[in-house]
Amino acid sequence: MTGYLAKRLLWLIPVILIVAGITFILMHNAPGGPWDRDLSSRQVDPTAQRLLNEFYGLNKPLWRQFTAYMVGDTNTRTGKWVCGLVCGNMGPSYRIRGMSVQQYLFNPPPNRSFLYSKFGYSIRLALLALAFAILIGLPMGVISALKQNTWIDYINLFIATVGISVPNFVIAIFLIIIFASTLHWVSIVPLSWDEFNVWILPSIVLGFGVLARTARLSRATMLEVMRQDYIRTARAKGLVERIVVVRHMIKNAMIPVVTYLGPALAGLITGSFIIETMFGFPGMGRAYVTAISQRDYSMIMGTTLIYAILVAVANLSVDFVYVLLDPRIKLTE
């Protein structure tokens, strides 16, 4: 078990390295650069561009830039060694002056807690969406299974199928048209995210897909568990139906659902960039989209790598949660 865990964790290092390499090459190949400005505004002077490139090391060969980003390099001006990603330094942002990528993403505004950083905002939105998805999706799936082939089941299944197939930004469009453009209950882009009610619409939209998946998954596993011999045994020994359902069915049916939570949360964090952009949400996803359009190389690298690590760790978590929850499963590979 420990050996297996160590092996899988170690394997993450080359995987992340390859992801970083691909992103780095593609990004630098993209037309334009971080010093381009809108045609309407004042352009950066060519001499200044050259100096900036020199200062940030953008005039060096690509592989030198890559190693500088990953491991580190000596600063051309001061001659001091600046450590790279291995020390957790994601480099200076080319667009947000005087800030490094990690400061921009993880540091909250003055006098606020970590939850008010870009990353914190995204985590909060994802957790809220996950809570919404589980609190609604789980009962939906369980009730569907208990009342299989009734109208309740069919309605739940239909909602779940819609949620799985229709992408969340299209659902967002429908909800925005209904609640913002027509009913005027909420504004599309709120001025402040300090009040709770502005969080409701984005988190429902974001969590809808996970809700649908949770409902389908819990329904499927419930139906499988209901046919097991130990359920018949539980009934045969005279247990009250409520206890059979709660203690024997739901408890066993939850195992696949719980293992799915890790990837679901990672999916919510990485998949939120469109929703964040639509609602003007001050999170990491919107920072990523902005960075792409501004060719802020280090910011793109930073956010992509954070996303990749999150996804990889979440996928890894599935196996281990399984082993922890289900004593019948043993890991051997």
Binding site for other proteins (CB under 8 A): 11-12, 15-16, 18-19, 22-23, 26-27, 29-31, 148-149, 161-162, 164-167, 169-170, 173-174, 176-177, 180-182, 188, 216, 220, 223-224, 270-271, 273-274, 278, 288-289, 292, 300, 304, 307-308, 311-312, 315
**What is the Rg, in whole angstroms, of the alpha carbon atoms belonging to the chain?**
24
In whole angstroms, the minimum distance from the beta carbon of 171 to other proteins comes to 8
In whole angstroms, the minimum distance from the beta carbon of 33 to other proteins comes to 13
Residues 6+ apart with CB under 8 A from 132: 203, 204, 207, 211
Smaller CB separation from other proteins, 107 or 315: 315
Interatomic CA distance for residues 73 and 64, integer angstroms:
9
Smaller CB separation from other proteins, 144 or 203: 144
Smaller CB separation from other proteins, 231 or 289: 289
Interatomic CA distance for residues 225 and 143, integer angstroms:
14
Smaller CB separation from other proteins, 39 or 236: 39
In whole angstroms, the minimum distance from the beta carbon of 254 to other proteins comes to 17
In whole angstroms, the minimum distance from the beta carbon of 111 to other proteins comes to 33
Interatomic CA distance for residues 186 and 178, integer angstroms:
10
In whole angstroms, the minimum distance from the beta carbon of 300 to other proteins comes to 7
**What stretch of H or E contains 154?**
helix 151-165
Smaller CB separation from other proteins, 188 or 240: 188
Burial 95-133 (b: 16+ CB within 10 A, else e): bbeeebbbebbbbeeeeeeeebbbbbbbbbbbebbbebb
